[in-house]
Amino acid sequence: WDSHLEDATTNQIKASWLARVKEVVNYCYNNGIYTIINIHWDGGWLEENPTYAKQVAVNAKQKAIWEQIAVYFRDYDEHLLFAGTNEVHANYSTPTTENNTVQQSYNQTFVDAVRSTGGRNAYRNLIIQAYNTNIGYAEIFLKVSTDNIADRMMVEVHYYDPWDFCGDEGSSIYLWGANYKQFGSVSSWGQEDYVVSQFSKMKTSFVDKGYPVIFGEYGAIRRSSLTGDALTHHLDSRAFYLQYVTE
């Protein structure tokens, strides 16, 4: 969105960009697919600034952009959902009170902006994010935004554990799961029991309290440098990881 603003002062989105987003949404919508419009990294103006120093300015931009998106897509039914932020974080350490307070204000601004536009947005399903979309931080810190309608809020987290298998390209760990450690090293953590444990935290903390949870991102990189049996075992292991997490 940030690179498609007509006016950076007013945060006005270019009509041509809204039309392009609508075109893509309609590909999904016209085929009965549930679709999420979100704001992801977007240059970092929202994602990298959970600080008091940036709070006012970021919330103003967050409000302006979401009001425009919400108005433009106001007539779409429940097949369209909105997700307010992404991996908002100051760093990858445990968030401070300041970080949590500001990050959750960005969630609340999103909810308030969408609801203010009326129509079907008065009851559209909305998705808010935990700090850095991290399961552990969600369990400890996330307070679900206040909404003026019941049962229309969802929570989003992401899942890339264990990172040495899922995302660290320099890691020697290219296998995952009990059935694959016979072929080489697997991570010392983050195996099948950990998946169950982490997902159970989301069930207890949110699903059981009436807030559905979306795993908006998860995956594991393909180790393109591998060859032979190592590549075969890696691809099988990776497929197993994706299947296990999905199930």
Reported as type and span, the H/E element at residue 50 is none
Please confirm, yes or no, whether 87 is among the known catalytic residues: yes
Listing DSSP states for 167-229 in one string gives: T-TT-S--B-STTTGGGS-B-SS-SHHHHHHHHHHHHHHTGGGT--EEEEEE-----TT--HH
For the question of residue 169 being annotated catalytic, the response is: no
Nearest to 88, CA basis, from 72, 101, 70:
101
Helices 228-246, 192-205: crossing angle, 10 deg rounding: 20
Catalytic residue from among 48, 98, 192, 217 = 217
Task: Note the maximum CA span of the chain.
Answer: 59
Of the residues 87, 98, 139, 156, only one is catalytic, namely 87
Structure tokens at 19: 């039309």
| Positions marked active-site | 87, 217
